[in-house]
Amino acid sequence: MKTIMPAVLPRRQADEACHNATGAPVCQWEVFALVKALKVRLRLNDRDLTVLQAHLSVLPKDLREGSPKWSFKSVNALLEKANGMDDSTFFRAERRLEKRGLLQRNMSANGRRYPIYHPETRTIIGAYGIDLQPLFDRVTELAELDEHLKREEHIRKNLVTRISSWLSNIRRGLMLRIGDVPESFQEVARELRRITRRKDVSVPDLEELEFRLQDIEDSYLGDLEVQEEADAPCPSDNVVLQDVDHQNEWHIESDEKESKKMTSYVSVQQDIRTIGQIWDACSSLTCFYERPPSDLHQLAKLLYQFGSFIQIGERMTMIAVQSLGPVKALVAMDYLAEKLEGLRNPEGYLMSMVKAFECGKAIAGGRVRPDIMQA
């Protein structure tokens, strides 16, 4: 009787490896996609993934949970599947995958890879080569890790967005109250943004930044609020809105100077004294908001929000508020909203209005003028 050595039997791995396999179907490519998504966490490189893909490609298509997961193709055949990778690189990748717990190497004495057959049934009972069962044993663990990392990434992105929005709100408050953003705050903001853009920044790191932001906001805006309360005018005083250095401020005027008051052209009427009166003249804005803003701070917030509605970016809105002042910017925005249907580029149109205003020209159909004229 002629003895047939296992090493010289035909490979036919895809047909023989799953003989009498039991259990639920398993898709090796779904498992590979999971490993690929966790590449950084598992400390794998692209070559490692290519080698793992080559081994998975020799498994049968009808793979099941109870079937053996051996890869015993010849090295030359596997190198072709690995895009012609050289054998030394291929072997190093196999060793790294074994260290990561994704496979087990079972090499023969002479380094050849081949299946081991049962002497009577001629079914494969083992192999010299690569056992991929450790990878499939960790599927549940890897899936839970992937889900955890996705949740953590979602929380991290929300925190980054919240921190960025908080910085923008502080910047707006400073622009509204003092007309400028101190260099010290700009430096702090740049530092915080650098931290949020790091790939390795963690959720606890971002939560710590939020605590820092609260202190930063209190240090820059807290004292200003106290000062505003101390400097607030008495209710009995006559308050006139006046344009000073392109910023709208409250000016207290005595009854004796009433006849010599300055009139600012900031709306459809002359001599408008309050935001409420200006608000009534803004037909477009009143369609979106039921009540007028209670003060200049609320007015600035409204302008940023309304600007986003009509496709005007935050930076452009800030430029308009800084150049025109919040009240004049309100009238300009309302005028822009009236013409919105015929505008291809609302932001560009607003920029042209700001430039015209800075050149001393009336804008918004004559409703907003930079000059202050004697009555």
The number of residues in the chain equals 375
51 Cβ contact partners less than 8 Å away, ≥ 6 residues apart: 78, 82, 85, 90, 93, 94, 97
CA angle 10, 16, 21 (to 5 degrees): 170
- Looking at 175, 205, 231, the residue that finishes a domain is 231
Is 1 domain-assigned?
A: no
Could you tell me the residue range of the domain that residue 197 belongs to? 147-231
Say what the pLDDT of residue 62 is. 83
185 and 60 in a common domain: no
Is 142 domain-assigned?
A: no
Say what the pLDDT of residue 108 is. 86
Is 245 domain-assigned?
A: yes
152 and 115 in a common domain: no
Q: Evaluate whether 72 touches 114 at the Cβ level (below 8 Å).
A: yes
Can you read off the two tokens belonging to residue 270? 């002359």
Quick one: 91 exposed, middle or buried, by C-beta within 10 A (0-12, 13-18, 19+)? middle
Is 309 domain-assigned?
A: yes
- The neighbouring-strand residues paired with 373 are 263
215 and 166 in a common domain: yes
Number of domains, the chain:
3
Q: Evaluate whether 141 touches 31 at the Cβ level (below 8 Å).
A: no
255 and 182 in a common domain: no
Element spanning 52, H or E: helix 46-57
Say what the pLDDT of residue 246 is. 40
Q: Evaluate whether 64 touches 27 at the Cβ level (below 8 Å).
A: no
Say what the pLDDT of residue 265 is. 37
pLDDT tens digits for 49-103? Answer: 999 999 999 998 888 888 888 999 888 999 999 998 999 999 999 999 999 999 9
Residues of the chain falling short of pLDDT 70? 1-22, 223-274, 371-375
pLDDT tens digits for 244-290? Answer: 344 444 343 444 444 333 333 333 333 334 577 778 778 777 777 77
- Looking at 82, 111, 137, the residue that finishes a domain is 137
294 and 207 in a common domain: no
Cα distance between residue 54 and residue 36, in whole Å: 14
Say what the pLDDT of residue 312 is. 84
218 and 251 in a common domain: no
207 and 125 in a common domain: no
Is 186 domain-assigned?
A: yes
Say what the pLDDT of residue 13 is. 52
248 and 208 in a common domain: no
pLDDT tens digits for 39-51? Answer: 999 999 999 999 9
57 and 40 in a common domain: yes
- Looking at 210, 231, 252, the residue that finishes a domain is 231
173 and 301 in a common domain: no
